[in-house]
């Protein structure tokens, strides 16, 4: 007989896990390598390109293994596109190093080996952090950057839809018979702004924008550019770009 | 006490009849310190004595009346001047006249209604106190004695579990379940998180308890959020089909019962916040309100009367939860 004064803390029943799920490859594999810097061109028209190789099993990416060559200004282009079109806070790029581009330096400037290596590491961190963001994965520009041979700067910006169940990628095991919008998950904007404390986020709901992604709702939090979210429920105008 | 009184002065103090037997409860003061006060429940009688002790025996004390009040009031910190009294009882102990010697007056407030629980928060305070006053022409002599009131409830008839599937399409699908929607302050939250789809790199998962105090109405509404607890329930990356159990003991945390729209002045609500953090420190969360209630410690004959009164005042229903989802 259970004692009514002591709470029943037995675990809730749960479905046993399928062994292929338990021991199979994880569904979140995404790795991007930025390597093999090559300096092309001569004289003042030189620039450095890097090989960007992505390996993934995420169904949203058309190619599971892709290799392209990109230069620093391509990464800048991607950052600008995302800052303009999406609501996410884009991670920082390694510096532009304008000083290194001035003449009369004692060293190789931006073609200095140590500098290129430092930049390579920064670019790799940048693209890995970005490509893992669920909202960034919906942007056409990211896919073009990672998987198209060259970047068409005259492209038409747009969203990439997750493909319907035709993909061989796995599907959620529980799909409601009449797909209704999920109760939404709130997705924070990313680590570059000071992380709002968990308790702050409900406040920011008053300043948030609901983004429709594939007919599901994601609430994205916009942190006020003026007070950086320090004033809970501030009535400053909401800006969409981070500073 | 006035420094300018050359005549008689007096000390006044209040002693409860059942001071020896009545329990005391700890309650936080405005500056964060903890103090003990006599504990009362709704409907209980408040009785005792007021002692007026003359400072200079032999001299007379002229006064305009001696009275004792029982007050329940709400004080908003941003509007200190206006106290909102929701209970105000007075007993006159002596008509205007003279006291030639120290005197004791009995008083009794019978079966006093104490509809709300004592609360000291970030922007608002709800308190009950006795105030004995000797009125005088220039300055009154008065003494306040705070008491603490707890509101009790019984096990709610309807206490459905909270079960929901949430996520971001094609990135993360989870089903979370909490065994109840209404928990008492010493209860245990038992639940589980079931992963249906995991396409992001999760680093860990935690449950936070958030207390939100809301004061004010209309354009000037203030919310104060306070994270009472952060409890990690998973460390590492889950895959599809995994079930993570939750067992969170509430007794270890300082919480009050849920207070909804108290006297139309303030609310104190509690939320469970399920947070998943990925490798890049992005946070994915789902917040869900829970109702907290206070269970009576001992079942005594008089207690069941209080519990019945408490249960009648108890608010909370399944419909309020669905309203909250829309709010989010």
- Contacts by residues A49-55 (CB-CB < 8 Å, ≥ 24 positions apart): A50/A120, A50/A123, A52/A127, A52/A146, A54/A30, A54/A131, A54/A146, A54/A147, A55/A29, A55/A30, A55/A31
| Mean pLDDT, residues A37-63 taken together | 93
| Residue carrying the six token digits 């939860």 | B321
- CA Rg, chain B, in Å? 26
List the single residue in B with minimal CA-CA distance to A130.
B280
Confirm if B178 and B246 have CB atoms less than 8 A apart: yes
Helix axes A113-131, A72-85, angle to 10 degrees: 30
For residue B57, the model assigns a pLDDT of 80
What residue ranges of chain B have pLDDT lower than 50?
A: 1-2, 300-301, 303, 313-328
Mean pLDDT, rounded, of chain A: 73
Q: What is the pLDDT of residue A173?
A: 41
pLDDT in tens, A22-46: 898 889 999 999 999 999 998 888 8
- Percent of chain A's residues with pLDDT above 90: 36
pLDDT number for residue B268: 97
Using DSSP's 3-state secondary structure scheme, residue A223 falls into coil
Out of A8, A12, A30, name the one closest to residue B192 (CB).
A12
Quick: pLDDT tens for A8-21: 888 888 888 888 88
User: A-contacting residues of B 273-312, CB under 8 Å?
Assistant: 273, 275, 278-287
Q: In the numeric block, which tokens belong to residue B5?
A: 């009184």
What local confidence, expressed as pLDDT, does residue A165 receive? 45
CB A230 within 8 A of CB A237: no
Q: Which one is predicted more confidently, A185 or A131?
A: A131
Residue-wise pLDDT for B152-196, tens only, equals 999 999 999 988 888 887 888 888 899 999 999 999 999 999 999
d(CA B286, CA B276): 9
Chain B from 201 to 220: CB within 8 A of any A CB: 201-202, 208, 210, 212
* Whether B5 contacts chain A with CB within 8 A: no
Host H or E run for residue A128? helix A113-131
> In which band, very low, low, confident or very high, does the pLDDT at A101 lie, cut at 50, 70 and 90?
confident
Which of A25, A60, A134 is the best residue to mutate to test the B interface, defined by the most B CB atoms within 10 Å of its own CB? A134
Q: What is the pLDDT of residue A14?
A: 86
CA-CA distance, A99 to B34, in Å (whole number)?
60
Residue in this structure with the two tokens 């490509």, named with its chain if needed: A131
CA-closest candidate to residue B169, choices B200, B191, B144, B142: B200
Which residues of chain A have a CB within 8 Å of the CB of B245? 11-12, 14
Q: Which residue among B177, B247, B282 sits closest to A190, beta carbon to beta carbon?
A: B282
Search chain B and give the residue with CA nearest A170: B197
Structure confidence by residue, pLDDT tens digits, A77-97 = 999 999 998 778 888 999 988
Whether residue B225 lies within 8 A of chain A, CB to CB, comes out as: yes
Confidence label for A3 from pLDDT (cuts 50, 70 and 90)? low
Looking at residue B284, its pLDDT comes to 85
pLDDT digits (tens, 9 = 90+) for A160-198: 876 554 343 444 444 333 233 334 454 444 333 343 443
For range A224-229, the mean pLDDT: 47
Instruction: Flag if B271 and A198 touch (Cβ within 8 Å).
Output: no
Asked whether the beta carbons of residue A15 and residue B278 sit closer than 8 angstroms, the reply is no
How confident is the model at residue B262, as a pLDDT? 95
What integer is the mean pLDDT of A108-122? 89
B197 CB within 8 Å of a chain A CB = yes
The tokens describing B38, both together, are 């006599």
CA distances from B81 to A73, B170, B213, B281 (A): 62, 55, 21, 45
Check residues A150 and B217 and name the one with the higher pLDDT: A150
| B200 φ/ψ angles, rounded to the nearest 5 degrees | -115, 165
pLDDT at A236: 39
What confidence score (pLDDT) does residue A240 get?
Answer: 29
Report chain A residues whose CB lies below 8 A from the CB of B243: 14-15, 17
B201 CA: distance to closest CA in chain A (Å) = 6
Distances B138 to B11, B103, B135 between C-alpha atoms, Å? 16, 21, 9
């Amino acid at each position: 007989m259970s004692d009514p004064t002591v709470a029943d803390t037995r675990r809730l029943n749960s479905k046993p896990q399928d062994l292929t799920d338990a021991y199979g490859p994880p569904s979140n594999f995404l790795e991007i390598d930025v390597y093999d810097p090559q300096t092309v061109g001569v004289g003042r028209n030189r620039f450095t390109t890097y090989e960007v190789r992505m390996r993934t099993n995420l169904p949203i990416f058309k190619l599971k293994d892709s290799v392209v060559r990109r230069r620093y200004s391509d990464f800048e282009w991607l950052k600008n596109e995302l800052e303009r079109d999406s609501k996410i806070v884009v991670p920082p790029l390694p510096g532009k190093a304008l000083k290194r581009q001035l003449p009369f330096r004692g060293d190789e400037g931006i073609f200095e080996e140590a500098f290129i290596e430092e930049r390579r590491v920064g670019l790799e961190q940048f693209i890995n952090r970005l490509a893992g963001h669920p909202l960034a994965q919906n942007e056409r520009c990211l896919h073009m950057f990672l998987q198209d041979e060259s970047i068409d700067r005259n492209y038409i910006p747009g969203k990439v839809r997750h493909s319907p169940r035709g993909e061989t990628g796995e599907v959620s095991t529980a799909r409601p018979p009449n797909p209704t919008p999920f109760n939404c998950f709130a997705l924070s904007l990313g680590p570059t702004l000071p992380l709002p404390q968990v308790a702050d986020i409900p406040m920011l709901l008053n300043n948030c924008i609901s983004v429709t992604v594939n007919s599901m709702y994601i609430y994205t939090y916009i942190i006020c550019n003026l007070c950086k979210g320090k004033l809970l429920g501030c009535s400053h105008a909401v800006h969409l770009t981070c500073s | 006490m006035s420094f300018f009184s050359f005549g008689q002065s007096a000390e006044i103090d209040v002693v409860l009849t059942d001071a020896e037997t009545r329990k005391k409860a700890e309650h936080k003061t405005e500056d964060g310190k903890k103090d003990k006060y006599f504990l009362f429940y709704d409907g209980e009688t408040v009785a005792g004595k007021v002692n007026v002790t003359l400072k200079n025996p032999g001299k007379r004390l002229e006064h305009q009346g001696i009275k004792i009040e029982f007050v329940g009031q709400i004080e908003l910190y941003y509007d200190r001047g206006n106290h909102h009294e929701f209970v105000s009882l007075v007993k006159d102990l002596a008509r205007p006249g003279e006291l030639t010697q120290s005197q004791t007056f009995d008083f009794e407030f019978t079966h006093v209604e104490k509809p709300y629980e004592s609360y000291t928060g970030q922007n608002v305070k709800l308190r009950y106190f006795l105030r004995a006053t000797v009125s005088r022409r220039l300055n009154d002599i008065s003494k306040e004695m705070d008491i603490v009131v707890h509101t009790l409830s019984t096990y709610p008839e309807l206490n459905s579990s909270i079960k929901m599937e949430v996520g971001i399409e094609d990135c993360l699908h989870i089903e979370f379940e909490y065994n109840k929607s209404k928990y008492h302050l010493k209860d245990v939250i038992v639940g589980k998180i079931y992963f249906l789809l995991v396409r992001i790199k999760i680093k860990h998962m935690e449950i936070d308890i958030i207390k939100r105090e809301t004061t004010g109405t209309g354009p000037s509404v203030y919310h104060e959020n306070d994270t009472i607890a952060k409890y990690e329930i998973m460390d590492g990356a889950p895959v599809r089909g995994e079930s993570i159990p939750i067992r969170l003991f509430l007794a270890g945390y300082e919480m009050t019962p849920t207070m909804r729209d108290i006297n139309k002045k303030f609310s104190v609500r509690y939320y469970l916040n399920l947070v998943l953090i990925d490798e890049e420190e992005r946070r994915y969360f789902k917040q869900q309100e829970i109702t907290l209630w206070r269970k009576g410690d001992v079942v005594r004959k008089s207690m069941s009367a209080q519990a019945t009164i408490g249960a009648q005042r108890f608010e909370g229903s399944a419909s309020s939860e669905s309203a909250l989802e829309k709010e989010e």
